[in-house]
Amino acid sequence: MELDPDRLLTAAAAFPPPEGVHFAYGTAGFRADASILDCAVFRAGIVAALRSLHTSSTIGLMITASHNPIQDNGVKIADCNGDMLCQDWEPFAESLANAHNPRDVLQVILDFIHKGNFFNSAASSGRVLLGRDTRPSGVRLLNAARQGVEAILGVDAAVMGVLTTPQLHWMVRASNRGHGASEQDYYSQLSHGFKCLLEMKPPGKGLITPWDGFIVDGANGVGASKLSRLQGIVKDLKLDIRNSGGEAEGLLNELVGADYVQKERKFPRHFGHLSELAKRCASLDGDADRIVFFYGEQAEGADAMNLRLLDGDKILTLFAMFIQNQLQELCSEVHEFPAINLGVVQTAYANGASTRFLKENLGIQVALTPTGVKHLHHKAAEFDIGLYFEANGHGTVLLKEEFLQVLRTFSPKSGTEGSRRSLQRLQAISEVVNQGIGDALSVLLLVEVALQYMGWSIQDWDSIYTDLPSRQLKVKVQDRTLIKTTDAETRVTHPLNLQAAIDVEAGKVSSGRAFVRPSGTEDVVRVYAEAGTQEEADSLARAVAIHVHELAKGVGAPP
């Protein structure tokens, strides 16, 4: 690898940093108002280019702000496996984004290169795939990213156009495995796996009532058009897509989308007919890496409908049941099949009822990680089959490469046709899921398959367990770093007396559980509480918030 300082300095001079702004690289990459992002996006292009050279692989860079308002935008980097940027590179990305001038940019790069013995391991050429969502600012920012990539000698910037975030991650993963990596290849793989699963449905399986498809809220984002294209390929996929981004439908993520439905517990726009709301509904977010499901339930003595939400916890549980069924049928009859390590990964925000159901009813191992998809993804990758979802609907299923190789080469000497079909179904599942990142389109297909196999309506799915009532609060503090946690953010180590106070309050209510954690983006401490009733959950959250306010130097009145 050779670095051309003059080329880099000239390019960097065209993208001066905004005054008084500090960029932090997290799970969402860099994200802010689009008007101040050009410099950060340009420099993220440099990071992606250097990462490509360092790993001798294709890297991805996506321009999106996901579920944020339309005036925002952001940039995130897809690593060589299709997952998120290696965490060891996040401090470098952050230092580079906040360098004061072109000379400092060059110095940050040189320091990083020499510190990592970069020249001894880097390739002479690289490639970065660039994608964007439908935000108006995306065209300008994509150009900034392209210039950042091309500021590094020998690295090619391949503009892939308007994509969902999961599509770009999928393309990076496929490219580095020597597979077809076009958008059409993406649709072909998902649709092939979906068709195979439906064709291999056991006799008599399927919904008891006639299936009339899903009504899908596209959040006025990129996912609506991509889902429409997928529907054109998969003829058995019955979808009524609303909020697809037309001029009359509203703005991106405004009163629509998975984040709105999940956080506000409200129906998205254009979901107003009572007869429709009793059907199966789903909502994507702005870049289609999240999805939640919902339906309307008639309120007693009223004409209105109450929203019944099936969030990431319910999706995770459905997938765990479906995959466990395939493994049980296979392993019960094919005795020579190797033992499989199946596990699910959650954060402390997962509803306690879901965790209890997974452990006690299904007997599945549950691991906890700190909040953030990057933590969940890496933990899930430790299992032969690892499933993870956040409550917001972001998650996927990971199948370890060694396990996939067993599926491809295993030839059972015993067992029935049913067990052999289970083997084939697991292979088909690996085609439907996006192993790079959570993917709303992929999840929608697998939910449909699982419901067909279970013979369930959305109401049946919802009834597998009842969520414990919960409440979340924020406490403003002078310095959120005063709060220190352990055990996947479920226990407080500092301030010293805070955890004991939380335990006392949780013991006062039925099924009480509470934890606190410092926000990653603002000077607040987040409080989560759940209990047997909503009144108890609200009371527990308020009591814990008061303790946080007193012991962590709260600002203003406690919640």
Q: Which of 52, 66, 175, 470 is catalytic?
A: 66
- C-alpha 426 chain-centroid distance: 22
Long-range contacts of 228-233 (CB under 8 A, 24+ apart): 229/187, 230/187, 230/190, 230/191, 230/441, 233/187, 233/188, 233/191
In the annotated binding site for substrate, the residues are 390-392, 517-521, 526
Triad 288, 281, 171: Cα angle to 5°? 20
- 559 burial type by CB count under 10 A (0-12 exposed, 13-18 middle, 19+ buried): middle
Contact 249, 243 (CB under 8 A): yes
Per-residue b/e over 498-534, b at no fewer than 16 CB within 10 Å? bbebbeebbeebebbbbbbbbeeeeebbbbbbbbeee
The SS3 of residue 347 is: coil
Pairing state between β 305-310 and 291-298: antiparallel
Cα separations in angstroms, 208 against 201, 203, 211, 370, 456: 14, 13, 9, 40, 7
Annotated binding site: 66, 285, 287, 289, 390-392, 517-521, 526
10's CB contacts (< 8 A; 6+ apart) are none
Angstrom distance (rounded) from CA 444 to CA 448: 6
Cα gap 223→467, rounded to integer Å: 29
CB 441 within 8 Å of CB 164: yes
DSSP state of 467: P
Beta pairing class for 58-63 and 72-78:
antiparallel
DSSP 250: -
Annotated binding site for Mg(2+): 66, 285, 287, 289
Name 471's bridge partners: 529
Q: Which helix (H) or strand (E) element contains residue 104?
A: helix 102-115
**Cα separation, 352 vs 465, whole angstroms:** 10
Q: Which residues pair with 33 in a beta bridge?
A: 72
Residue 419 annotated to the active site: no
Catalytic residues: 66
